[in-house]
Amino acid sequence: MMQYITHNHRITMYDIFVRTHFAGAHHLRDYPGDCEKPHGHNWKVKITVRATELDHLGMGIDFTVLKKHVKEVIDTIDHCDLNEHEAFRVLNPSSEHIAMYLFDNLADLLSHERYSLYSVTVSETDNQGLVYYGPQK
């Protein structure tokens, strides 16, 4: 039987992530510039789950489980005109709102006694993006 070293009096955390991407079109309503015109991006996304304990196999969350849930939610916005998507008919489909949408739709799927969704990173290019941490509890 395998024994694990415990870290008495210390809180341990593991940030487990997957990277993915999706393509879509959008325009930002009332934006004073080119982004008000319809255009597209190949957004890059990083989903991070924070685990405070490991399971009997030594994992915080199985990558297979994490990738499955992320794919389910990403598929709802992949290759869409985001302005026509129900979630963005009122909200501008900015990277910030896209990150919030992904977080809100993944939070329950990635909630367990050992782990929970920690952050969603959305990048329009390799050089610009943001990290969304969701509502503070």
- At residue 3, the pLDDT reads 45
Considering the chain, what percentage of its residues have pLDDT values greater than 70?
A: 92
SS3 state at 137? coil
Is 35 an active-site residue?
A: yes
Is 80 an active-site residue?
A: no
Annotated catalytic residue: which of 80, 85, 112, 124?
124
Angle, CA of 60, 65 and 69, to the nearest 5° = 120
Write the pLDDT tens digit of every residue in 77-94: 999 999 999 999 999 999
C-alpha–C-alpha distance, residues 22 and 43, integer Å: 5
Q: Rounded mean pLDDT of 53-80?
A: 97
Is 86 an active-site residue?
A: no
pLDDT at position 127 over 50: yes
- At residue 1, the pLDDT reads 43
Give residue for tokens 């329009």: 124
| Cβ–Cβ under 8 Å, residues 30 and 83 | no
For the chain, give every domain's residue range: 14-132
Annotated catalytic residue: which of 53, 72, 79, 96?
79
Annotated catalytic residue: which of 27, 35, 80, 112?
35
- At residue 135, the pLDDT reads 85
Q: Which CATH superfamily is domain 14-132 in?
A: 6-pyruvoyl tetrahydropterin synthase/QueD (3.30.479.10)
- At residue 7, the pLDDT reads 53
